Structure 1
Amino acid sequence: MRSDQIRQGRLSGERSGDLEHFLASMEADRWIAEADLLVDMAHLLGLRRQGIIDEAPARALMAALLDLHDHGLPEEAFDEKFEDVHAGKEAYLIDRVGEDFGGRLHMGRSRNDEVATCIRIRLKQEIVALVRSLTDLRRTLLDVAAAHTETVMPGFTHLQHAQPTTLAHYLLAYEQAFSRDVSRLREAYARVDVSPLGSAAFASTGFPLDRAYTAALLGFARPAPNSMDAVAARDFAIEVLSGTSICMTTASRFCEELVIWSTAFVGFVQLDDAYCSSSSIMPQKKNPDVAEIMRAKAGSVAGELTAAIT
């Protein structure tokens, strides 16, 4: 099925390949593709539970969706002849179960609430992964600090030796900072954890959907209370990006100290060879690549935050 067949209403005419590429969101859609299948299955179960869809099309669609979930979307679903993966997936389902059954999955639903729900599902997964990573990092800092409570080192201000302290004191300062990052992400999670599904384009739908049921199926705490806000809001994503940008700023500060301390001029720390590289023509060099690249990634995250806000 071509994109001009998927497009509905009064629009007609064929788009050029360059225009289709400009409008396509396939790169971003790959990020939500798996979540999109979960949303489809929950919506289908909700439609069947409410008697909106008959058993035969529901069974045919669910079998196709389960097969896609087990084996992944075919690459043709990401073809840029489709405006997005949702149109590509719908074309696949129509080919699989027939035109009479294939289009029924979209009853009571818009791409607006579908995409908003997918983003929240994936963002929740990302937050959990980030919190786990930060927990591992904090555990490492605590373990190393416990072994160095009496390891004396100079504290620094303005890159000058200041007051004496211990390595444990220094490491625990960063553990405290990363603990606040975890708190910020956990608090943001609660605001991400609402389901837009059932809000349709923005004003809900005339179909008698049970939004609490589909929200529970998808692991959300509750459905979003306002349908317009549910599909329009992206502040929850900006909040998470803000938290990750703050976290990366702390990581960047930590890495910059290791970079400076490991230089030949200072020689205060020695980094493990696994986290460094040499030069192609100067084999005596030991470059702190991992720490330097981590600092650069902090700029990338800050840039994504700015892009999201604007």
Structure 2
Amino acid sequence: MKKLWGGRFTQTAEEWVDEFGASISFDQQLVLEDIEGSLAHVTMLASCGIVTEEEAELIKKGLYEIKEKAEKDELSFSVELEDIHLNIESLLTEMIGPVGGKLHTGRSRNDQVAVDMHLYLRNQVEHILDLITEMQKELVTLAEQHVETIMPGYTHLQRAQPISFAHHLLAYFWMLERDKARYIDNLNRINVSPLGAGALAGTTFPIDRYLSAEILGFDSIYENSLDAVSDRDFILEFMSASSILMMHLSRFAEEIILWSSQEFQFIELSDSFSTGSSIMPQKKNPDMAELIRGKSGRVYGNLFGLLTILKGLPLAYNKDMQEDKEGMFDTVKTVSGSLKIFAGMIRTMKVKSAQMEKATQNDFSNATELADYLSAKGLPFRQAHEIVGELVLICVQKGCYLKDLNLEEFQKASALFEADIYEALEPKTAVKRRNSAGGTGFSQVYHAIEKAKECMK
């Protein structure tokens, strides 16, 4: 098959070389965006008198027919035609004749592929934002049910202080809110039109780049044609935001895995998001959470892969940049799937409230309450800290907990201790009293839930 760009060539590549250089196996995912960009381009060409209205209408009619077939998955693509752009142009020319060749007037595949990816990422980021919001809704719904469910809070994976389970869940809500903000900011760079930049230097045709940008819903155009065709910052930003999001999901997945273990028994995952063992009948494995934790690595890899591809490229377009798409597609698929799975896990998991609260009883996570108790009575915190540390050591040596010490033992350590110390040691009291802004106190958590709901409106 003679290449559409083959006028200067006297030989054609062997089939395996064509296959190595072709991108149609993956960039066919851009078929609808490519048609959308072409429709805007031909509308602009007609508006500027570069093609006639009759030619433009014929081209549009052909493009709409191709679009209809694409939506029904009825198109066949050719490796010999390399990419989605030449495949569609060839289909169009077969359909309407030589006038189809006028569609490419005033543009290059370099700005064409760039506009396709801008359109694709805009659509996908908006979808991802919706998925993040859905996961946030599940978090808030579960949090509302467990404001007064007490669980151990951890540092260094050691029990630290008792907290509200809702408070723990809402920590992930706010991480996701920051993720949304990063994607929304990313849209500012995504929503810029490279169309009309040509191969690298613009075009001699009297095109109107602002009109085509307006038709496609872009906020602005690239001000430099070299930059327009060589920029992939907007994809790097997307992959960076996605890597941070996946890191958040991976951290949450790790906790889901721990909580569902026999050692914790804080939650039980639905059968829908668990698997069994081929040899051990009793097993119920948190495989979906483990997969999300694992898939964070491939998203990181996609980011570093594209950074490496771009780091040594001279301006403007280079064939290396064909490698920008598969990682982008994979990141979109991975992030979207992970968010859907996570929302489902949260919605269907069983929370074992009694087991959580039991875990706060037999430990030293109430030690800070003792130090705060003494400080509230005027003792400098450092002295209070030392006294409580000595009491903890006594308990360790005796094999008991702070609540098991009698009042005489407390008063021997400090005369400031009174009979109300046992109430202060109760985990629920400890949680309830922490009402500083953003704290785990119940009134603060109820307030945080209302703020979270406002964010999702």
Q: What TM-score bracket applies, with the shorter chain setting the length?
A: over 0.9
Query: Tell me, what secondary structure is at the counterpart of 1:283?
Result: coil
2:162 pairs, out of 164, 188, 199, with 164
Give me the CA root mean square deviation. Answer: 1.3
Identity value in percent:
39
Query: For residues 259 and 57 of structure 2, what CA distance do their matches in structure 1 show?
Result: 64
For residues 184-211 of structure 1, the C-alpha deviation after alignment (integer angstroms, 9 at most, x for no partner) is 0000101111100111111111111111
Query: For residues 109 and 133 of structure 2, what CA distance do their matches in structure 1 show?
Result: 36
TM-score relative to the length of structure 1:
0.95
CA 1:126–1:71 in structure 2 vs 1: closer, same or farther (change >3 Å)? same
Deviation at 1:9, TM superposition (A): 4.2
Query: For residues 66 and 272 of structure 1, what CA distance do their matches in structure 2 show?
Result: 45
Structure 1 residue aligned with 2:11: 13
Structure 2 residue aligned with 1:92: 91
Query: For residues 15 and 210 of structure 2, what CA distance do their matches in structure 1 show?
Result: 42
Structure 1 residue aligned with 2:263: 265
Q: 1:7 corresponds to which letter in structure 2?
A: W
1:254 pairs, out of 223, 248, 252, with 252
**Number of corresponding residues:** 306
Deviation at 1:158, TM superposition (A): 2.0
For residues 3-57 of structure 1, the C-alpha deviation after alignment (integer angstroms, 9 at most, x for no partner) is x331234223121111011000013312211100001110010011111002332
Structure 2 residue aligned with 1:290: 288
Deviation at 1:248, TM superposition (A): 0.2
Query: For residues 114 and 158 of structure 1, what CA distance do their matches in structure 2 show?
Result: 51
Query: Tell me, what secondary structure is at the counterpart of 2:161?
Result: strand
Deviation at 1:265, TM superposition (A): 2.6
Query: For residues 89 and 230 of structure 2, what CA distance do their matches in structure 1 show?
Result: 23
For residues 218-276 of structure 1, the C-alpha deviation after alignment (integer angstroms, 9 at most, x for no partner) is 11112222211111100111011000000000100000111122112332322122110
Structure 2 residue aligned with 1:56: 54
For residues 251-302 of structure 1, the C-alpha deviation after alignment (integer angstroms, 9 at most, x for no partner) is 0000011112211233232212211011122221000011011111111111
Query: For residues 233 and 108 of structure 2, what CA distance do their matches in structure 1 show?
Result: 21
Q: Is 2:85 aligned against 1:102?
A: no
Deviation at 1:74, TM superposition (A): 5.1
Q: Is 2:237 aligned against 1:204?
A: no
TM-score relative to the length of structure 2:
0.65
Query: Tell me, what secondary structure is at the counterpart of 2:206?
Result: coil
Unaligned runs of 5+ in 2: 309-457
Please tell me whether Structure 1 or Structure 2 has the larger radius of gyration of its CA atoms: 2
Unaligned runs of 5+ in 1: none
Query: For residues 286 and 236 of structure 2, what CA distance do their matches in structure 1 show?
Result: 32
Deviation at 1:155, TM superposition (A): 0.5
1:153 pairs, out of 151, 154, 167, with 151
Mean CA deviation greater in 181-190 or 257-266: 257-266
Query: Tell me, what secondary structure is at the counterpart of 1:201?
Result: coil
Query: Tell me, what secondary structure is at the counterpart of 1:6?
Result: coil
Query: Tell me, what secondary structure is at the counterpart of 2:131?
Result: helix
Q: 1:83 corresponds to which letter in structure 2?
A: E
